[in-house]
Structure 1
Amino acid sequence: MDWTGYYDAQAGRAVRSVVLQALASRDDAPPGVAIDIGCGEGTETRHLLANGWRVLAIDADPTSEARVRAGLTPEQLARLTFRRARFEDVGVLPAADLVYSTFALPFCESVAFPTVWSGIRAALKPGAWFAGELFGPHDSWSGRADMNFHDRADVQALLAGLTVHTLDEDDRTGQSAFGPRHWHVFHIIAHNPA
């Protein structure tokens, strides 16, 4: 994948709706600690920093850190930690109030996904939120060994023990930054009971 070109194409996009909905569902709780897994060009990270959050942003692309840091104030930079890592090398995540991975988790190798997902679940404090997407088996990229795919039953099993607020399934032909493709996406917003 040409991630640098993808991030160029994504510059200036709006904050992903799953993140905005998860934030709105927090009932005016104060900003806390967030983890952005696969932060890319940093749209969601910058939005959270602008709203008082502390953010651990993680991405393997060599251009990502500079993109995330661009335009941040000194005070925002003080609340940002950037970790350059592949999913497989993320390691132990800190306790967080929000963990999100918008259109990134599917690009974790299938053999590494269970460990990565366990780490995400372990990082969710009581009352914390998860927001993100997983790809389903009808997706155009399904079958790639360097990605992971889940049917609805798999996704529901992954979310067991969380309160699921949104589990929307999108199964349609459309466009992407890489051209035409068939999307099979699960949009997820869930919360760890307090």
Structure 2
Amino acid sequence: MAEFDEPGAWSRYNATQGDRPPRPLALTLLQHAGEGAGRLALDLGSGAGVESALLLEHGWRVLAVDGDPAAADLLRARLSTEQAQRLTTRTTDFADLDALPAVDVVHAAWSLPYAGVHLERLWELLLSALVPGGWLACQLFGVRATADAADVARLSTADVDRFLDRLDVVHREEQEADGTASGRPTHWHVHSVVGRRRPA
């Protein structure tokens, strides 16, 4: 059985992530999107809430979505009262996500590949929710990524190009590296992207 198919695997993983710093992709996103000033950001696959907390610190309202039932409590435990008032959480599997409000930012680090066969539909849902001029930051797995779940979406470079054709891309990086995931050998093949939604 692959790592993230095991019962409770995401909860165990998220419980180990609370003390890490924000991921570089989120910092790059904020460099472009700026201070929130009350605008709404979607953190898809919010996990331990590190990046949701970062967005809240920079004045964004945040809708944090994750399939782990413990994720919302992990996130709220790290927030001030004022920050918590600007947070909405939703616990749902990506396969069941079917409606989103209009958002000015989508942050989806290391989450979209785990949509598996639902990735195309989920991508369309995200772009439909993202307002013209809004920013999207995400990681997508390339074809040589090692699976750590049974249903992981891997995209060719041409497929990544197709996914991004409605964005003005300001940051795009393709990386490959051997490493480990929860102690297991893993080959990472990842496309990291930050882009802005073009006007309709």
* Interval containing the TM-score (normalised by the shorter chain): over 0.9
Tell me how far 1:147 sits from its aligned partner: 1.7
User: Aligned-pair distance for 1:77?
Assistant: 1.3
8 Å contact kept, 1:9–1:177:
no
Match of 1:189 in 2: 194
Cα distance in structure 2, aligned partners of 1:90 and 1:162:
22
2:138 is aligned with 1:132: yes
Q: 1:18 to 1:145 in 2, by over 3 A?
A: same
Identity %: 35
Aligned to 2:128: 122
Which residue in the other structure is 1:48 paired with?
55
Which amino acid in the other structure matches residue 73 of structure 1?
Answer: S
Mapping for residues 142-157 of structure 1, pairs under 5 Å: 146-157=151-162
Instruction: Report the counterpart of residue 169 of structure 1 in structure 2.
Output: 174
Question: How many residues are paired up?
Answer: 192
Determine if contact 2:36/2:60 at 8 Å carries over to the other structure.
no
Q: RMSD of the alignment, in Å?
A: 1.7
Contact kept in structure 2, 1:103 and 1:133, CA below 8 Å: yes
| Secondary structure of the corresponding residue to residue 154 of structure 2 | coil
Deviations 1:9-34 (A, max 9, x none): 21211111111111111366745110
Gap runs ≥5 in structure 2? none
> Are 2:109 and 1:102 aligned?
yes
Q: CA deviation at 1:145?
A: 5.0
Q: 1:11 and 1:179, CA in 2 relative to 1: closer, same or farther beyond 3 A?
A: farther
Aligned partner of residue 68 in structure 1, secondary structure = helix
User: Residue 52 and residue 41 in structure 1: after superposition, are their counterparts in 2 closer, same or farther (change >3 A)?
Assistant: same
In 1, the alpha carbon distance for the partners of 2:160 and 2:183 equals 25
Partner of 1:73: 80
Q: Look up the SS of the partner of 1:39 in the other structure.
A: coil
> 2:27 aligns to what?
20
- Counterpart CA distance in 1 for 2:185 and 2:123 is 29
Instruction: Give unmatched runs, 5+ long, in structure 1.
Output: none
Q: Distance in 2 between matches of 1:181 and 1:155?
A: 21
Shift of 1:98: 0.6
Residue 39 (structure 1) aligned with residue 46 (structure 2): yes
SS in 2 for 1:108: helix
